[in-house]
Amino acid sequence: MSSTLAERYNLEATRLMPHMASDLQVDPAINTASEIDEIVFRRSEYLGGMAAVLLALIAFDGRVAARRSRPAKLAGLPR
């Protein structure tokens, strides 16, 4: 079962900023970064900036995980 972007976002907000997690939380059904950003930015520009950073961290983690899951190329072996 895969999680929505908002579920991952809410977890990261709680993990990295537990003192502000309630201000950063969004509906867990949301699955687009733009919607999360818009909702949190409407609360305040400061929170919107934090949301943007959290979303960037999630995207970066996703790219790193995708690279790790690819099989390593063996140098010098024919294809």
Query: pLDDT by residue for the chain (79 residues), tens digit each?
Result: 579 999 999 999 999 999 999 999 999 999 999 999 999 999 999 999 999 999 999 998 876 666 665 555 555 555 5
Residue 6 CB-density burial (10 A; 0-12 exposed, 13-18 middle, 19+ buried): buried
| Residue 55 contacts residue 36 (beta carbons within 8 Å) | yes
Q: Tally Cβ neighbours within 10 Å of residue 50.
A: 18
pTM of the model: 0.78
Within 8 A by CB and 6+ apart from 52, the residues are 37
| Distance between CA atoms of residues 6 and 50, nearest Å | 14
Domain ranges of the chain: 5-69
